[in-house]
Structure 1
């Protein structure tokens, strides 16, 4: 009976660690993808609009 409880405890610990590691990996991947998406959006959409606005303001001052 004690052997069964020890085996059950090891299984629970192993499963808990596997779930914790899986969640950590998922969080890191999600963070990386989100960060790259935000950077890509800023560089390709927001910065050109800002640059165009600056050029338009400079041309208006002339």
Structure 2
């Protein structure tokens, strides 16, 4: 991660996102899990967001 600069500020923002399905239904398996992973990567690339670590769990 690198620092970002404003006119009077210096900052470095890091986020931690957790995506959970309702009632933790295990739907992120197989082709659906791969597609969700690809969509997240595309979205992050479009907004110039660096993914430090990514995990898709069974639940």
TM-score normalized by the length of structure 2: 0.33
> Which has the larger Rg?
1
The structure in which a higher percent of residues are helix is 1
